[in-house]
Structure 1
Amino acid sequence: MRAELVREWTGLRREVQRRIDGLVGAGREIGVQVAAYLDGRPIVSAVSGLADEATGAPVTPDTPFPSYSIGKGLTSTVVHVLAERGVLGYDLRIADVWPEYARHGKQDTTLRHVLTHAAGVPQMPPYATAADLLDWDEMCRAVAGSAPLWEPGTRHGLHEWTYGWLIGEVVRRTAHKPIAWVLAEEVARPLRADRELFFGVPPEQVNRVARLKDRNWSAMLHTLSEHLENFDTVAPPGVRPDATLANRRDVLRADIPAIATVSARAVARMYAALMGEVDGVRLISAERLKLITTTRTDGPDWAVGGDLPKTLGYVAQPGCDRIGWSGDGGGLSGCYPDVGLAVAVTKNYLSAGDGDPLEDIAATIHAAVAER
């Protein structure tokens, strides 16, 4: 069966490899990973270019890349694994396990509100710095002490940074373990991805991490700040998701579960295990998969202004059938439940505009599967 699978998708793998080699050869990318799983089995695993220009280290399938919002998909997956085991429920009131969170009328906020980015606390302290991101207790106090910007459940808006501490602290108080531990032991290790899925990267693994580089993403962040009324509220100047912040060793080593450090192979494997078995491992039931991939919000997102529809923990990507998370400035991840396909792309050039060839590659993979 595996040999037949290899033969069936040889043409697709060659096409993906040709395209990412072309992007690297043309200087549009430095290093790229692309991975896809169909019905729990790998059909694409392609890499090209360098993980680190300074050292000349090549990208390999297990190279972890700092990946910003792709990490939110890992955070959400931890919640669903714990829900599957009865450790917590989506209608859990946050204040019931985190009493300090009840301040300023937040006592009825539920985990469901958080998963759909409807909790009303997307704001960061305006003068937040990278050092603040490293202090778990400080950030949890800041989130708990925030007054909601809207009544929970009445609108939705990207909780760019606060999503991680909201979910992470609930996990810590219900599972009695840090969310990084739960990810490692309940998701990464069963999937044999414990060297490729991280919140805080262990010290002995940091030198394996790819280095990001700005192409024009910093300029885009500045443009977003100028034109989106609420952008600086969720991503103040001191903690904008850029290459400089992602490359900091102290940030890489910290548990900041709105972001993560991952390989494309491991993320695709995780999404595949949400939909079905991957080498005997299935993370959630078919019933829960349907529940968590149903779109729950509508209307414009408060933070980004445009459409960003949410399911329970993921984004229903506008313009395609993928459920998952894309990274700020590059990279994407998610699944197409109707066809059993999981796809992930990581890269180290952070960029915006000029088309999105990696999104096109994901669309090519999806089309090949849908048309077979």
Structure 2
Amino acid sequence: MEIQGVVADGFEPVREAFVRNFEVLGDRGAAVAVYRDGRKVVDLWGGARDADAAGAPAAGLPAAGAPAPWTAGTAQIVRSATKGVAAAVPLLLHQRGLLDLDAPVGSYWPEFKAGGKERILVRDVLAHRAGVPALDRGLTPAQAADGVSGPRAVAAQRPFWEPGTEHGYHAQTYSWLLSELVLRATGRTLGGILSEELAEPLGLEFWIGLPEAEAHRVGRVAAVEAPQRAGALRTRPRRNVSEAYADPASLTRRAFAAIDPLPDENDPAYRAAELPASAGIGTARALARFYAATIGVVEDGARIFTPATTALAGRELSAGADRVLVVHTRFGPGYMLHGPASPLLSPASFGHPGRGGSLAFADPEAGIGFGYVTNALAASVTADPRAQALVRALRSAL
């Protein structure tokens, strides 16, 4: 496997782990990037741009000649790793005094008060405590993307538990909760704010709502059965998640199936939709740079958060048994925190995994911004073996 890119002295273990992901753990096309103290120290990519063109015999796909290679500019959908980038928008608004995390959501969005949700606070939404992780009736992919049906459905939905008392991962409904809240508070879309005030000033190749002009850069994703290390993803909690997802009546299945049928992630219409829970598209380099800018100043002097907002991003708001993921999870305001369900670099880390493999996070104590994206979507929900191998290698390098 030919790997492109560079690593700074001392970060060679990350390159070795990245190579091994292709050789042993089934990666087809992927990239990893790391910033330390605002400076890029890892920027690697390799494999095929399109997962279904890589022709991995172990996955039962036919070889299709020489597939288009993953290049320095290749971008991919990162699923729920989108949530961590999207969360920067409400936190930035809070930093500017435009959004009060302790205010009821209904003070910005009056229709949301329906069904006993009048006491839900903005911080409850960000920390997956709002109690509406699923819908009584799922939306079609077209409805999910139209910008109206999703917010209307979640506003009318009765909570599945008393809001604020427990937490459960809002896998899909987070899109409509967050996007409508930002729209009501500012009159602007979340994707538009991200593009104009974060991505463009920072030079980030990341979009929530992919512009048509960038569509040529995006590779195709595909589900794969990646080889696993002994014991990987075979702990009892992981089996419980799988069992819950297999049960159509479970809250786990209903949360992930709030869009029904599940959308085709290679569909240009889905990629163009502003769905901040699941449809962000970008490069590993953009994710690493984004998280580096949440904790400090990056190379050209740019920064996203003040120190106070950085501290807020890593502050635990939810912890314990997750009503949806059926494991112990920890959340700050929009960010998954280091813990058994999603091991990051250290207890100080905050970020977000994407179901199937992608991972991005910041670690303010180590000065790290990390991003990994892949087009080979495995069965992992949080602790993907490939992403974890890279995190362990980074830890050893540090």
Indicate whether the TM-score tops 0.5. Answer: yes
Q: 1:270 aligns with which of 287, 290, 297?
A: 290
- Give SS of 2:213's match: helix
- Of 154, 161, 179, which aligns to 1:143? 154
What does residue 318 of structure 1 align with? 339
Residues in 2 aligned to 1:224 and 1:330: alpha-carbon distance in whole angstroms: 20
Please state how far the C-alpha of 1:223 moved relative to its aligned partner. 4.8
Relative to the length of structure 1, the TM-score reads 0.89
Distance across 2 between alignment mates of 1:125 and 1:29 = 37
CA distance in 1, matches of 2:99, 2:293: 20
Q: How far, CA to CA, are the matches of 2:359 and 2:221 in structure 1? A: 15
Q: Which amino acid aligns with 2:366?
A: V
Structure 1 partner of 2:374? 347
CA offsets 1:102-122 (integer angstroms, 9 cap, x no match): 111211211100011001111
Equivalent residue, structure 2, for 1:103:
114
CA distance in 1, matches of 2:394, 2:260: 34
**Structure 1 residues 300 and 290, CA, compared in 2 at 3 Å: closer, same or farther?**
same
Matched AA of 1:56: P
Provide the residue aligned with 1:307 in structure 2.
328
Distance in 1, matches of 2:38 and 2:332, equals: 22
Q: Distance in 2 between matches of 1:240 and 1:45?
A: 36
- 1:228-247 aligned at under 5 Å gives the runs 229-236=250-257, 239=260, 245-247=264-266
Equivalent in the alignment of 2:309: 288
Q: Partner residue of 1:203?
A: 212
Whether 1:28 aligns to 2:37 is: no
Structure 2, unmatched stretches of 5+, are 1-5, 54-65, 227-238
Deviations 1:138-186 (A, max 9, x none): 1110010001112211000000111121111111111211111000011
How far did 1:255 drift? 0.7
Aligned residue among 49, 52, 60 for 1:51:
49
* Greater helix content: 1
Q: Aligned partner of 2:283: which letter?
A: S
Deviates more, 1:332-341 or 1:52-61: 52-61
Whichever residue aligns with residue 48 of structure 1, its letter is: G
In 2, distance between residues paired with 1:347 and 1:111?
32
Listed one character per residue, the Cα deviations across residues 274-333 of structure 1 (whole Å, up to 9, x for unaligned) are 100112111111112112201122220000110111111101131442311001011111
User: Are 1:239 and 1:245, in contact at CA under 8 Å, matched by a contact in 2?
Assistant: no
> Within 5 A, what are the aligned runs for 1:56-135?
56-135=67-146
The equivalent residue for 1:358 is: 387
TM-score (norm 2): 0.84
Retained in 1: the 8 A contact 2:295–2:364?
yes
Kindly tell me: are residues 287 and 68 of structure 1, through their superposed partners in 2, closer, same or farther at Cα, counting changes over 3 Å?
same
SS at match of 1:333: strand
Q: Structure 1: how far apart are the matches of 2:179 and 2:147? A: 10
Identical columns (%): 30
Q: Distance in 1 between matches of 2:269 and 2:389?
A: 34
Q: Deviations over 1:120-143 (max 9, x none)?
A: 111134443222221210111001
Taking only aligned residues, the RMSD between alpha carbons, in angstroms, comes to 2.3
Q: Please say if residues 17 and 46 of structure 1, whose CA atoms lie closer than 8 Å, have aligned partners that are also in contact.
A: yes
